[in-house]
Each structure stands twice: as C-alpha cells, then as structure tokens.
Amino acid sequence: MSNTKESAFSIKNLKLLWGPLSLNNPVIVQILGICSSLAVTAKLKPAFVMAVSVTVVTAFSNLIMSWLRKGLPNRIRIIVQLVVIAALVIIVDQILKAFVYDVSKQLSVFVGLIITNCIIMGRVEAFALANKPWPSFLDGIGNGLGYGLILILLGFVRELFGSGTLWGYQVIPSSLYAAGYMNNSLMLLPPMALLLVGVIIWIHRSKNRDLIEK
C-alpha cells in the first residue's frame, strides 16, 4: 500500500501539479486561455468560479481521454475529445445554474466556450493521449489551477481598484472616498486586463530569465 502511495504522489507526479502554477503556467508562459482571462475577471467571484470550472473540466477530460486512448481510432480522436469535453461542460453549466445562478448569468456564454478552451484541448493532445490516467488527472488539475491562479489575481486587482470591492463587499472605506479617492473604471475594461496580463508576464520572466532563453 505504501509503495502505491509513493508512486502515486511521487516527485514526478507532484511536479505535474506545481509546475503549471509558475514555470509552465498555461497563461503567462504558454500564452493560452488569454481571451477568457480578459472577459471574466472584472469581478473576483466570476473569476474564481470560472477557475474552478475549467479546473474540473480539464482534470476529468484528461482522465477520461487517457482511459480511452488505447482503443481510440486516430481518425475520430478530435470528435471524441469534443464530445467528452462538451459533456463535462454541460454538467458544470447545469451545476452552476443550480447553485450559483447569479454568477452563471455573469459568465454567460463563456461557460459554454470552455469547450473550445485551448488549454483543455492542448493538455488532452499533448499529455493525456500519451500518459496513464492518474498522471493525466494531475496534469489537468495542475493546468487548471495555473489558469485559475491568473484569473483570481486579475479579478482581485481589477475589482479592488475598479469597484473598490472584493467578492462584492466594499473594502475601501467611505472616508477614503470622502477624501477624494475615486475608483479607476478603466480597470473594468478588457484592455486593462490585457495590460495586467502583460505586466504579470514581464514580472514572471524577469524572475525566470531561463524562460526567455528557451
């Protein structure tokens, strides 16, 4: 039993979880999933819900496609991937409508567009179809968390400085507004999100110069 646990949570497998959080982040290193990171991060709550949704879909699509990989004819590979991912997205969408309907309305069509998220398709193609289910599952979780980390960071900064709130609650005191402070409404526009992503990439690569050389 101990040997199984050691192999399941070996250093190699744990790197699949932690790698995408920094050195192999899908957004700021692989430059994937940029569109949704601009569209759903004006507020922290929708950003968090989208992060969880994509993580769930990425993890289970990797897991299912890894299970199917040996008996899957190459000519219908993409079709099967889309069917699996679409089914998972529909399940996630229905759960969101049942439990967080207000956020589901805010996310609107972007939940459905998870189906075409290049991070999910990319991990299935690049990893799940060539690896066993457990590492594929960890890889899906890791890349989902890496994507989610950027979304939550953007949502935090944009809502705080754009609306003066976090998770919908006022955090900047009224006395500061009375003294002349004003929210920066530019933070709520997609171009500002793109600028913030650029700043995050710049900071990340300045601290990891080996990524520039690669």
C-alpha–C-alpha distance, residues 22 and 208, integer Å = 9
142-193 pLDDT per residue, tens: 999 999 999 999 999 999 999 999 998 999 999 999 999 999 999 999 899 9
99-135 pLDDT per residue, tens: 999 999 988 888 988 988 889 999 999 999 999 999 9
C-alpha–C-alpha distance, residues 49 and 149, integer Å = 12
pLDDT at 214: 53
Quickly state the pLDDT bin for 46 (edges 50, 70, 90): very high
**What is the mean pLDDT of the segment spanning 32-44?**
89
The phi, psi pair for 169, rounded to 5°, reads -100, 135
Judge whether residue 1 has pLDDT over 50: no
Nearest to 54 by CA among 132, 128, 116: 116
C-alpha–C-alpha distance, residues 75 and 89, integer Å = 23
Pairing mode of beta strands 165-166, 169-170: antiparallel
Quickly state the pLDDT bin for 212 (edges 50, 70, 90): low
